[in-house]
């Protein structure tokens, strides 16, 4: 497994920095975002270092599929209300124009009741 020693999410994947885990298997980790934007906000990352969505190659297809398939399962587990009233946002910021701050591929899953929208 390739890790970047300077990458904060690699350190989280290796357990060198603690995180509130939502899911872990041999290839994938999901954990709560440290600065949540909504009642439910967690990140899904590959344990191996992939810099961004712009760095994804054909060889990553199975891993990306596994990450995607985890989204509805973990969204439900973490308290997102059911579709269609509930649901969630799935966000993958990529590069500078995409607003990516941490250069290790991650999917944001953002959901939960948002009472401020009903104002």
Q: What pairing do the DSSP bridges indicate for beta strands 88-91 and 28-32?
A: unpaired
Minimum CB distance to Zn ion smaller for 16 or for 89 = 16
The Cα–Cα gap between 64 and 118 comes to: 35
Question: What share of residues in the chain are helix, strand, coil (percent, to 5)?
Answer: 30, 20, 50
Query: Which parts of 32-61 interact with Zn ion (CB under 5 A)?
Result: 49
Instruction: Retrieve residue 111's tokens.
Output: 């959901």
Q: Which stretch binds Zn ion (CB under 5 A): 8-16, 17-25, 56-64, 110-118?
A: 8-16
4 binds, among Zn ion, ligand 5GP, none (CB under 5 to 8 A by kind): Zn ion
Minimum CB distance to Zn ion smaller for 25 or for 114 = 25
The Cα–Cα gap between 75 and 38 comes to: 13
52 binds, among ligand 5GP, Zn ion, none (CB under 5 to 8 A by kind): none
Minimum CB distance to ligand 5GP smaller for 31 or for 88 = 31
Query: Is 49 among the catalytic positions?
Result: no
């Amino acid at each position: 497994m390739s890790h970047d020693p300077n990458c904060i999410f690699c350190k989280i994947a290796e357990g060198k920095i603690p995180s509130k885990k939502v899911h872990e298997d041999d290839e994938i980790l999901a954990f709560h975002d440290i600065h949540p934007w909504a009642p439910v906000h967690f990140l899904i990352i590959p344990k191996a270092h992939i810099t961004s969505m712009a760095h994804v190659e054909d060889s990553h297809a199975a891993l990306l599929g596994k990450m995607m398939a985890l989204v509805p399962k973990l969204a439900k587990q973490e308290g997102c209300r059911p579709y269609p009233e509930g649901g969630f946002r799935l966000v993958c910021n990529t590069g500078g124009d995409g607003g990516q701050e941490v250069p290790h591929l991650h999917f944001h899953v953002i959901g939960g009741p948002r009472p401020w929208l009903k104002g």
